[in-house]
Structure 1
Amino acid sequence: MIDHLDHLVLTTIDLEACKDFYVRVLGMRDETFGNGRFAFRFGNQKINVHVRGHEFEPKAHLPVPGALDLCFIATHSLAQVIAHLEAQRWPIVEGPVQRTGATGPIRSVYVRDPDLNLIEISEPLDLNQTAPHNAAG
């Protein structure tokens, strides 16, 4: 019945800090749509943004900043992602570590956005690759 995720909604306290992270650090495109609403677009998906206290109806029962735990598959190698995060001076909370994604094994790093949502950035692992990588690797 369900094919894929079209969008999700993120609630932020600070729209400018949120834009900085998702556009500058993660490389998403920002867009304004219908009646001044705001979103970040990547691939065929988007993240709609609500500012706390100014949410659009209908909304989640308890829309709060910092409640999301999201995993994104990167378009670049994880080594390139790590180098980019370091160049942007954005701290890595954990990783690289091996995890299990929706379609198989992945290697991930974790960061927090300005609202303290947990953001996992991953690359798919070759099923024949068995050597785990740690934070030093």
Structure 2
Amino acid sequence: MIDHLDHLVLTTIDLTACKDFYTRVMGMRLETFGNGRVALRFGSQKINVHERGHEFEPKAHLPVPGALDLCFIASIPLEAVIAHLKAETWPIIEGPVLRTGATGPIRSVYVRDPDLNLIEISQQVAA
């Protein structure tokens, strides 16, 4: 019945820091839509951003910053991701480590975004 994820919603405490992390560190594109709403686009997906206390309706029952654990598949080799994170002085909290992704084995590093969401950046590994 379900084919793929279109978007998800991230709740942030600090919209400026959130936009900076996802555009500068993660390489996503900033998009504004609707009545000044903010989204972060990558590939054919996006993350809509709500600022805590100013969420759009309808919203999650308990929208809180820092509750997400997200895994992204990189479009570049993991070594290049690591070099980019180091160049941006963004700390890696774990990795590289082997994990199992939705379509098979992946190699991952973990970082935290400004709201302390856990962000896994991965490269698919040949099985």
**TM-score relative to the length of structure 2:** 1.00
Q: Distance in 1 between matches of 2:91 and 2:54?
A: 29
Residue 19 of structure 1: how far off its partner (Å): 0.6
- Give unpaired runs (5+ residues) of structure 2: none
Give every structure 1 segment of 4 or more consecutive aligned residues whose post-TM-superposition deviation is greater than 2 Å: none
- What's the C-alpha RMSD, in Å, of the aligned pairs? 0.3
TM-superposition CA deviations, 1:32-86 (whole Å, max 9, x none): 0011110000000000000000000000000000000000000000000000000
Q: Distance in 2 between matches of 1:2 and 1:33?
A: 25
Q: Give the structure with higher Rg (CA).
A: 1
Residue 126 of structure 1: how far off its partner (Å): 1.1
Structure-1 residue corresponding to 2:24? 24
Q: Distance in 2 between matches of 1:83 and 1:76?
A: 11
- Tell me which protein shows more strand as a share of its residues: 2
Residue 120 of structure 1: how far off its partner (Å): 0.1
Amino acid across the alignment from 2:71: C
Q: Distance in 2 between matches of 1:34 and 1:55?
A: 14
Structure-1 residue corresponding to 2:42? 42
Q: Distance in 2 between matches of 1:41 and 1:47?
A: 6
Structure-to-structure mapping, 1:15-94, within 5 angstroms: 15-94=15-94
Residue 125 of structure 1: how far off its partner (Å): 0.5
- Give unpaired runs (5+ residues) of structure 1: 128-137
**TM-score relative to the length of structure 1:** 0.92
Aligned residues: 127
